[in-house]
Structure 1
Amino acid sequence: MADKNLTCKDCGATFVFTEGEQQFYAEKGFTNEPVRCKECRSSKKAQRNDGARRPSGGFSNNRGRSSSFSRF
């Protein structure tokens, strides 16, 4: 295996898919090469996680109801 130059599908930048990364992908059974550069992957991941981190307006009190304070 040798390093490969790939083009990011989001920003069009060229990035290197290293020999080590290719070995890692093969060991994990991944068959597709990456399509985004590191910066675009990080940005996309942050966008996905942003929805999961929005506050719910309180927290569960273990009875299926939401509360803005805890019962001790």
Structure 2
Amino acid sequence: MADKTLVCKDCGKDFVFTQGEQDFYKEKGFDNEPQRCTECRQAKKQQRNNNNRGFRR
């Protein structure tokens, strides 16, 4: 497998889906390629974490 250039669905910039990442996804059984670049993935995760803080019981 070779590195792939993908386009982030949030910011629209190109990012590289490396061979190592592809191997990792395959090993974990993930069928889909990532939709977001690293920066947008981190921002999305942070947003989820911030939204969940108010709902602890």
Whole-Å separation in 1 of the counterparts to 2:8 and 2:54: 29
Residues 14-58 of structure 1 show CA distances to partners (whole Å, capped at 9, x for unaligned) of 0000000000000000000000000000000000000222487xx
Q: TM-score, with normalisation over the residues of structure 2?
A: 0.91
Moved over 6 A (4+): none
Stretches of structure 1 that go unaligned for 5 or more consecutive residues are 61-72
* 2:49 is equivalent to residue 19 of structure 1: no
* 2:38 aligned partner: 38
- Quote the RMSD (CA, aligned, Å): 1.7
Whole-Å separation in 1 of the counterparts to 2:36 and 2:52: 22
Q: TM-score, with normalisation over the residues of structure 1?
A: 0.73
Whole-Å separation in 1 of the counterparts to 2:26 and 2:33: 10
What percentage of aligned pairs have identical amino acids? 65
Alignment of 1:1-72 (within 5 A): 1-54=1-54
Corresponding residue pairs, total: 57
Of structures 1 and 2, the larger Rg is shown by 1
Task: Flag the structure with more relative contact order, 1 or 2, with Cα contacts below 8 A and sequence separation at least 6.
Answer: 2
SS of residue in 2 equivalent to 1:53: helix
AA at the equivalent of 2:42: S
